[in-house]
Structures are given as structure tokens and as C-alpha cells.
Structure 1
Amino acid sequence: MSASAIRPLAALKYAVITLFALPWVVIPVWLVIVNSFKTAGEAGALSLALPGQWSILENYTAVFVTGGYLTGLRNSLLVAVPTIAATLLLGAMAAWAYARSRKRSFQFFFYLTSLSVLLPPAIIPTIYVLSTLHLDGSLAGYALMMVGTRMGLIVFLITGFVRGIPEELEEAAAIDGASRVRIFRSIMLPLLRPTLFVGGVLLVIGVWNDFFFALLLLKTSANATLPLTLYSFASASTTSLNWNLVFAHVVMTSLPLVIVYLIAQKRVLAGLTEGGVKG
């Protein structure tokens, strides 16, 4: 196919994608942002028009002063950073073991671990275990639960990638005297970097936006993550919902994810492409 024929097809493809994105992405994002700049009365109309009276400073100041944003941001970071680091590291180790083992027991445990992607976590036993360990209601207990529930996704994602890596690389390193730890650190981790990056982004989205488990496991406002502070802020009013403040809090809650996306966009696309080639 000639280059002149490809250009109209590419233009048509981008036009279709743009038309599809407008009602599902652009309009909702614009609705949230523009209404976070309005007064309570204007924002209550939920229109797409620009504010008649701008209230940017007042709305975002309220989010920081009375919305518990800084507390939620601190707690979300305290949960997300160790959860993502531990899940990626332990998941990569488990995936390497599952991919290289020929034992049926290992294959059974691989399928059992991967099954957690589909099955919902057992809430009652989780709360019982955390209570027994005196971690119920704490950020540490919540982080441990998040690691356990997200491990299956990372193991499933990485195991297939490891199976596409030639075993000769590890055998050559072992012949040269490298230990298993050295092989994993110096050979496997660099090769797994694209897939780990994709898995890390998926974890960031899942952990950062989690509300259900946070609501069940974090019982005090001092340990509330950003979704919980947003929920408390939105439900604090007994008369009417101040949509301008709610939208401002939504913008600030989503801002860290937007920053991560802008930084990681190229690496995530590269990891997905490389993973597709490996598969």
C-alpha cells in the first residue's frame, strides 16, 4: 500500500478515536475541572459552561484546609509506595520460579496464585488475621492486604514474559559462578524492567483509587487515604452537596496519577509493545 493511501486511513483512524473519546473522556474531565472553578450555586447546575464567577482559590484552599487532603496524600503515599515496591519485587521472584520450574506443584501454585485475579478477596478472614496480628485499622495492615490481593496480577503478567527469555543466559551466568540472587538481580530484573513498569502503573491505579477495602480496614480519619478523605469531605454537609468543593478534591486526588501517567507514558507503551512481541 502506498504512502498516499496510508495517510487518509491514518487520519480516519484518529478521527474515529477522537469522536469516541469526546463523550467518554474529554467531556467528563472538562465537567470536573470547570466546575471546580465555580461557586457552589453555579457548580450545582453541573453545566459545561465557563464560570460566571471564578472561585478557584477559595475552592482549592477549602480542599487543603477542611478536606483533609494533605493527610490523605500522606497516607496514600505511605500505602502505595511500599505496596508497589513489595508486590513488584516478590511478584517478579515468584514469576521467575514459576516460569523456570518443571514441578507440577509449582504449576499448581501458579494457577492458584493467578486465580486471585478473578476471585474477590475474603474480607472476614482478612480482618480476622489482621486483628490477630494487631494490625487491624492500621496502614501497615492495609498495605499487607493490598500486597496480597495484587500479587496474582503481577505474577500472571510477568510469568509469561519470563518464559520468553532464553534460559541460556542464566545457565551461562551460573557457570561463571553467579549465585541465584546475583542472576536475579543482574540479569532478570533488567530484562523484566519494561513489564515491571507496566505492572507498576497498573498497581498505582488500583492502589491509589481503592475505596472499598480502605473503608473496611481503615477505621480512623488519621489513617484515611485520599479516596476516604474525598468521601468524608463529600458527605460532610447535611443539607446539600457542594459540588464545587467535591470536584476540586477530585482534581487534586487525580493529580498525582496524571503526573505519573505523563512521566511514564512512553515507558508503558514500550513495555506493552515489547510484551506483545515476546508473547
Structure 2
Amino acid sequence: MTTIRSSIRPGANRRRFIASIRPVAVVIVTLVVIGVPMWMVLVNSFKTTGESQSPNLALPHVWNLVQNYSQVFSEGDIWGGFIGSLLVTVPSVVGVLIVGTAASWVLARRATRAMSFLYSVGISGIVLPPAVITIVLTLKDLGIAGTVVGMVGVYMGMFMATVIFFVTGFIRNIPIELEEAARIDGARPIQVYLQIILPLLGPVIATATILVTLSVWNEVFYAFFVLGGGSTSTMPLNLFQVASQSQYTNNWNLIFAYVVLMSLPMLVVFIVAQRRIVSGITAGAVK
């Protein structure tokens, strides 16, 4: 009996030790992966041009905070990029949520082979990126290349799969008896959708909204091809253009300052809504 107890205790103690250090390990890894790059961007945005030539984690010897950020505001078209990002982001998010949630309701409630196939096609956009050359040529043929309308259409197509994936899984676990009772009371399909389904989709809609907003706000690749040469520009696109100019090639302090300003709105959104992100992902995936 003593031998059996002695053989069990080391294993139990080892598991208990691993369980106790696991949260600490997660925090350390998070700080290294996320905290170190953020700290590097922040401190180098306060340095002089000469000191920022070799970006590092050290605090600046000479603080150049006011000059750097004022120069970025004056030469980097911060306000123009901010307004352009809003003009692109808000309609894209609203549009993809309206169309995506309605499509998800239909896909979740009609259990046919055709709907299963359409669902597979709908979520394929998560792993299959759209072809940029085809997109640009199509927008030119439609006459909306370089416009906000064209950019909004591209983003809606890109992130529709994300909304369908989350919302469809959530709707499938809403009791269908709620909809049947509403239909018995004389409710039309649009009334069932607006009065029964949408109010129950609060957590997953909040999650999809935040994820799509973050993705659209920081996207630059497709914005470069679609909006390039147009009258509207976004903050990431302005950052790319500023960083590509010869006079800014070695001015890492100004580039980092622009990154900080561009990231602030989404950082605030993420901090405020991080609990909804977790709860919505859990609700959509686990259910």
C-alpha cells in the first residue's frame, strides 16, 4: 500500500505543478508575442530620427514626442485617412452583417443538400482568398474602381464567410419552436427574422462586428489595388504610401508614430469589447 501511494503522489504533484504554472506561462508568452512589438513601436515613435535608425526596446535618450506626432499629423494626412477608413469600414460592416445574418438564417433552417452545398461555398472564403486581378478588372468594367462603393463591395465579399460561419452555427441551436409559434400567431418570415431571430443573435453579432471591423480597418493589400489612384484613401493605405516615400525611408520614428495613431481607434474598440469577442466565439463554436 505504501508503494502504491508513493507511486501516485509524484504524478499528482507533477500535474498540480503544471496546472499552477500554466497561467503564468500563458501570460509570459502573451507579453513576448504581443507586448514586446507594441512596446517597440511605442518607444521608437518618441525618438529622434537618428536614434530610431536602429529600432530597439530602449527608452529614448531625447524625447521627440510632440514633434514626431505633429509632423505625422501635418504631412501624413491623418484626418483624411481616418475619414476614408470610416467611409469604408462602417458600410462594409453594416452591409455584411445585414446580408450575412439573413443568409445564415436561411442556411441554418433549410436542411437540404442544396443548402449544405451553399453553406460550404459560403464559408469557403475563410480559406480561399479572392483573386485581386479578377476583382480589379470586374470593378473597372462596372465603373466603380477607385471608389468607396467598390471597396465596400470587395470587403463585404471577403468577410461574408466569417459572418456566415459564426451566425449559422449559432442559429442552428435556437429552438425552432420559437419560430413556429410566431408563424402560428400570423407572423410573416420577415417578422420572424426581425422580431425573433435578430434579438437572440446579440452576442454573435457583436463578435462578428468586432472581428470584421478590425480586419477591414487594418487591411491594406486590396485597398492598394482598389482605391489606389482614387480620391479616397484609408489610414493603412496612407501609411504604406508614407513609408514608401524616399524622405521617410529612414524615418522610423515617424512611421512608428503613424502606426500608433492608426491603431488607437481599434485598440480602444478591442479593450472595450474583448469580453463580447470571447463570449460570442464560445457561443457560436461550442453550441
> Which bracket does the TM-score occupy, shorter chain normalised?
over 0.9
Deviation, 1:188, is: 0.8
Equivalent pair of 2:123/2:165 in contact (CA under 8 Å): yes
Instruction: Provide the TM-score with structure 1 as the length reference.
Output: 0.92
Show the 5 A alignment for 1:63-74: 63-74=72-83
Secondary structure, in 3 states, of the residue corresponding to 1:220?
Answer: coil
Deviation, 1:7, is: 9.6
RMSD over aligned Cα atoms: 1.9
Q: Residue in 2 aligned with 1:20?
A: 29
Matched, 1:121 2:122: no
Q: Which amino acid aligns with 1:130?
A: L
Counterpart CA distance in 1 for 2:248 and 2:133 is: 35
Instruction: Provide the TM-score with structure 2 as the length reference.
Output: 0.90
Selected match of 2:143 from 127, 134, 142 = 134
Equivalent pair of 2:92/2:155 in contact (CA under 8 Å): yes
Show the 5 A alignment for 1:124-273: 124-220=133-229, 222-238=231-247, 240-273=249-282
Secondary structure, in 3 states, of the residue corresponding to 2:50?
Answer: helix
Q: Which amino acid aligns with 1:273?
A: T
Secondary structure, in 3 states, of the residue corresponding to 2:246?
Answer: coil
Secondary structure, in 3 states, of the residue corresponding to 2:143?
Answer: coil
Judging changes above 3 Å, is the alpha-carbon distance between structure 1 residues 43 and 131 closer, same or farther for their aligned structure 2 residues? same
Judging changes above 3 Å, is the alpha-carbon distance between structure 1 residues 56 and 11 closer, same or farther for their aligned structure 2 residues? farther
Structure 2 stretches lacking a partner, 5+ long: 1-12
Q: Residue in 2 aligned with 1:106?
A: 115
Q: Which amino acid aligns with 1:65?
A: S
Equivalent pair of 1:71/1:222 in contact (CA under 8 Å): no
Counterpart CA distance in 2 for 1:134 and 1:221 is: 12
Q: Residue in 2 aligned with 1:58?
A: 67
Counterpart CA distance in 1 for 2:31 and 2:277 is: 23
Equivalent pair of 1:35/1:46 in contact (CA under 8 Å): yes
Q: Which is greater in Rg? A: 2
Secondary structure, in 3 states, of the residue corresponding to 1:40?
Answer: coil
Structure 1 stretches lacking a partner, 5+ long: none
Q: Which stretch of the first structure deviates more once superposed, 90-99 or 114-123?
A: 114-123
Equivalent pair of 1:173/1:183 in contact (CA under 8 Å): yes
Counterpart CA distance in 2 for 1:169 and 1:7 is: 46
Q: Percent identity?
A: 39
Judging changes above 3 Å, is the alpha-carbon distance between structure 1 residues 111 and 248 closer, same or farther for their aligned structure 2 residues? same
Counterpart CA distance in 1 for 2:66 and 2:171 is: 50
Counterpart CA distance in 2 for 1:71 and 1:10 is: 50
